[in-house]
Chain A
């Protein structure tokens, strides 16, 4: 997957806060439909950072009192990959272990926390989310 270089350059100069705030808002919105059984006790008060290697920034997320919140660094665990590789993982086009073997994905800090997050992503059934989209968009996204 190729992300145009000018876009990468543009994104690289962004501050971290706006994408973090948007991610936190989305996660709080999607928590119930996507993870009805998950209590996120393992994330409570822990700082998880997803660093984007080609942008030289990342987002840090935490979970407190039943809600996702913007996190602080230093993080308990940091996942690092390029923007393109994050997209491949999110679209389920690439297996995270494969990227790890190829040194394109790294986990530093609390490995167990990182692995729990990885496995949560793998276990997430996105179909309830897609079911809400209009059929024309679903066809375009091929979901």
Chain B
């Protein structure tokens, strides 16, 4: 069910396909975010995402259940191809999306001018980490919401909320990365393609999984980025989560695969006035969407109770589908300064 109380944040869930969208709605998402089948969104994976007709029936279904559909057009147009990105904004407006999630300033300007009635959210890819940046986007493009990058502590998030009229959305669960969102060019070092312009960190055409007996090597465009021993958990084939030789040792030189899990700080996020909690994972299956949405729904609905505590069953459900050995509060909890 959608949020029972108006002060509760909206639960925003991912969908890479129509069955995933239905799973999100049936499991209690207030809104579903998704993308077109092209490079205009940050999960441009082979076979993933929505054709126009799938999107049309997805929007009809979600809105008939009183939920919203937010369309992510959150990559930066490739040189000379801006028209494709603008056409996606036009399509989102024509299909009746509740909002578009944008990062590029030129596209924000285009959407503001061409479709003033269409709500605009500033994507996490927009990399706005302070209230001045959020307010600048508000003044120029009338954004109604900003998704904060996962680099801020709870007090920092509260400081942004206190100083902006814009609704603030934060991540509640999902795989983490090095979080230079909108600025990461790491994968273009190996593949010539970057998530910012092509919508994918490790294009599948460049990925090779090579089993050798019971072990497994991962290569990205020929570059060895990880090696897994028998039964050792694997991760996504991204450079940032690879293990590399540094000096005499080989280890996660940039980041170990981990998943953010903000269940324990939900009451704090609600008290601060966070307006929406987002779940990562448009590349995941309907089974994931359903499991995570149900868990987050139950937790958010319980979080305004002063006796709230994280149920072991919730942790178990989330831990099962997590990438990496560990779940973390990420930057939310950083006792040091």
Q: Does B291 contact A (CB under 8 A)?
A: yes
Are A103 and B231 within 8 A (Cβ)? yes
Are A37 and B204 within 8 A (Cβ)? no
Q: Complex: how many Å from CA A112 to CA B232?
A: 23
Are B51 and A37 within 8 A (Cβ)? yes
Are B20 and A122 within 8 A (Cβ)? yes
Are B321 and A119 within 8 A (Cβ)? no
Q: How far is the CB of B280 from chain A (nearest CB, A)?
A: 12
Q: Does A44 contact B (CB under 8 A)?
A: no
Are A111 and B232 within 8 A (Cβ)? no
Instruction: Give chain A residues whose Cβ lies under 8 Å from the Cβ of B51.
Output: 37
Which of B209, B286, B320 has a CB less than 8 Å from the CB of A98?
A: B320
Are A115 and B231 within 8 A (Cβ)? no
Instruction: Give chain B residues whose Cβ lies under 8 Å from the Cβ of A95.
Output: 284-285, 287-288, 291, 321
Q: Does B205 contact A (CB under 8 A)?
A: yes
Number of chain A residues close to chain B: CB under 8 A: 30
In B54-112, the 8 Å CB interface with A consists of 54
Are A97 and B288 within 8 A (Cβ)? yes
Instruction: Give chain B residues whose Cβ lies under 8 Å from the Cβ of A103.
Output: 216, 228, 231-234
Q: How far is the CB of A128 from chain B (nearest CB, A)?
A: 12
In A57-98, the 8 Å CB interface with B consists of 89, 92-98
Contact (A96, B285) CB under 8 Å given A106-B211, A118-B47: yes
Are A93 and B45 within 8 A (Cβ)? no
Instruction: Give chain A residues whose Cβ lies under 8 Å from the Cβ of B17.
Output: 119, 122-123
Which of A92, A101, A115, A118 has a CB less than 8 Å from the CB of B323?
A: A101
Q: Mark B275-316, 1 if CB is under 8 A from A, else 0.
A: 000000001111110110000000000000000000000000
14 other contacts beyond A117-B47, A119-B48, with CB at 8 A cut-off? A37-B53, A94-B287, A95-B285, A97-B323, A102-B233, A103-B216, A103-B228, A103-B231, A106-B211, A108-B209, A115-B47, A116-B204, A119-B47, A120-B47
A-B contact pairs, 23 of them (CB 8 A): A92-B19, A92-B286, A92-B290, A95-B285, A95-B287, A95-B288, A97-B284, A98-B287, A103-B228, A103-B234, A112-B205, A115-B47, A115-B204, A116-B47, A119-B17, A119-B45, A119-B47, A119-B48, A120-B47, A122-B19, A122-B286, A123-B17, A123-B18
